[in-house]
Amino acid sequence: MKKTILAQGLLCLLVVLTTPPTGFAQQQTFTLDDTLRGSITAERAWWDLGYYDLRVNVDAENKSISGSNAVHYRVLKPGQTLQIDLQPPLRIERAEQDGQALDVRRMGANAYFIDLKKEQKTGAREALTVWYSGKPRKARNAPWDGGFSWSKDAQGRPFVATSCQGLGASVWWPCKDHAYDEPDSQTVSITVREPLMDVSNGRLRRVTDNGDGTRTFEWHVSNPINNYGVNINMAVYEHFADTFMGEKGLLTLDYYVLPENLDKAKEQFQQVKGMLRAFEYWFGPYPFYEDGYKLVEVPYLGMEHQSSVTYGNKYMNGYLGRDLSGTGWGKKWDFIIIHESGHEWFANNITYRDIADMWVHESFTNYSEGLYTEYHFGKDAGAAYIRGLRSGIRNRQPIVGVYDVNSEGSGDMYNKGGNMLHTIRQIVDDDEKWLAILRGLNRDFYHQTVDGAQVEAYISRHSGKNLQKTFDQYLRQINIPVLEYRLKKGKLEYRWNDCVPGFDMPVKVTLAPDRFEFIYPTPEWKTTPAKRLKKKNFRVDENFYVLVQEVR
């Protein structure tokens, strides 16, 4: 009770947080709403999600929704107030547990505190249901600034989809809107007016004709799922299917596209099997064989919704026809099919606990684009693609955000994060070990939420190298390390500059013409023999994302 009263008193208080000294000197302001959304509050901590039964009626004509969510949970420790999140203009209308009406209080803009009447005993499995309705937030720039995308197909029929990463699943359905806790399974039942159909996550259990011109599509997800991975996709779809024989057996492939795009889709979506072959090689089995793989056309660019990957890349290779790397390799494949499907391993299988560690999703998936290229076109091609992405790095803010306030880091989590991983591969200098690390991450963190620090420690431990300073350099501050060097009388002198204290990343350089060898710089000057080396021949292996400067 004291914590609740204190939170009410702090409603208008602004909290100012500054990134650590090793980071970019940036001040950010956060509100109570940010804390309620981004932290594991007392009203969240005492219960563990088990299962969601989400039921939603979508009125495309009026752009409104209504429905309910039954929240099944296990009591970890006694608690009588439970937090459920829902963003305006949607509102929770009522809540019940075991047929009893419950008191519901709104805290800030998005959080609802529900007071339970039944004693919550440790170990007990309980459930409550919340009902809600309203006109959900319209997506402003999906998928980056999401919500509901209300569009029309070529015949003027509704073409509707949801997206909500970062913004939060509570923008369209009531839930425990924090990534640390996922339900073990979920049912998504969506009611739409005929002839529309809904495609959501998992497998279609049944379609019910409601006798009033509407149909209900019931989908079931049998694996843990992150909140933002749940989606609605509504249209008059054409469906076609295929199968893939993968590492865990037969995987079903289902495709849902607008009728006018059926022929193009049958051609373009052939890339899915090549994607699966590549990523199962690098990362291990597709993580959701039980729920299948789906690719679903939507009116925005695309998103990594679990087992229901959405697609809007206009049936072109590249990123809307453009090669983001500028090397030519990015035009060999469809960016959305490859990138968004890569998230099935890094985002949906391994999920960040706090959005501040969003790099765990985006850095690895950005890097997966290069690995896909390597698998199909060779190691040099994959490396060239990753290096080509450096032109998109801004180095204005750290990759890691601020914890406990729903604050993601900078967009450099994509290209810079991918180049960080590519650099670490060079440090490991053992492709078999590197492959084992990538597959091991998906095996040992299978269907789990993780802190970024766990991933960092895992890579250090399994590579046999202490990479902490390397992670600190690339994730937590903005400077790219500068290798300063000078050649004097048959000796190479070198050191790191613009780096975190104690930075000790090894790097490969030419100590003799056309032969790369490791040196081990620190912020202090070091010397190594280089008798046959001339200034014009000195190079640093370009696969290391560093700057190089000759000094006198």
User: What domains can you pick out in the chain, each with its CATH number?
Assistant: 350-475 (1.10.390.10), 482-550 (2.60.40)
Q: How is residue 115 written in tokens?
A: 């007071």
* pLDDT at residue 5 in the model: 33
What is the DSSP pairing of strand 350-352 with strand 448-450? parallel
* pLDDT at residue 461 in the model: 98
- Rounded-to-integer distance, Cα 277 and Cα 12, Å: 52
Q: Which helix (H) or strand (E) holds 374?
A: helix 359-377
What is the DSSP pairing of strand 185-193 with strand 197-198? unpaired
- Rounded-to-integer distance, Cα 285 and Cα 247, Å: 5
CB atoms inside a 10 Å sphere around CB 245: 10
Coil, helix or strand for 346?
Answer: strand
What pTM does this model have? 0.94
Burial 100-109 (b: 16+ CB within 10 A, else e): eebebeebbe
The sign of the dihedral angle between the CA atoms of 356, 358, 364, 370 is negative
The sign of the dihedral angle between the CA atoms of 304, 305, 307, 312 is negative
- C-beta separation of 459 from 513 below 8 A: no
Q: Which amino acid is at 352?
A: Y
* pLDDT at residue 512 in the model: 82
- Rounded-to-integer distance, Cα 371 and Cα 281, Å: 10
- Rounded-to-integer distance, Cα 457 and Cα 374, Å: 26
CB atoms inside a 10 Å sphere around CB 72: 18
Q: What are phi and psi of 93, to 5 degrees?
A: -90, -40
Nearest Cα neighbor of 437 from 313, 310, 283 is: 283
* pLDDT at residue 532 in the model: 78
Burial 523-545 (b: 16+ CB within 10 A, else e): beeeeeebeebeeeebebeebbb
Torsion, CA 414, CA 417, CA 421, CA 423, rounded to 10: 120
pLDDT along the chain (552 residues), means of 10: 34 37 60 96 98 98 98 98 98 98 97 98 98 98 97 98 97 98 98 98 98 98 98 98 98 98 98 98 98 98 98 98 98 98 98 98 98 98 98 98 97 98 98 98 98 98 98 98 94 96 97 89 95 86 98 90
- Rounded-to-integer distance, Cα 424 and Cα 232, Å: 38
* pLDDT at residue 2 in the model: 33
Helices marked H in 464-511:
468-475
* pLDDT at residue 515 in the model: 87
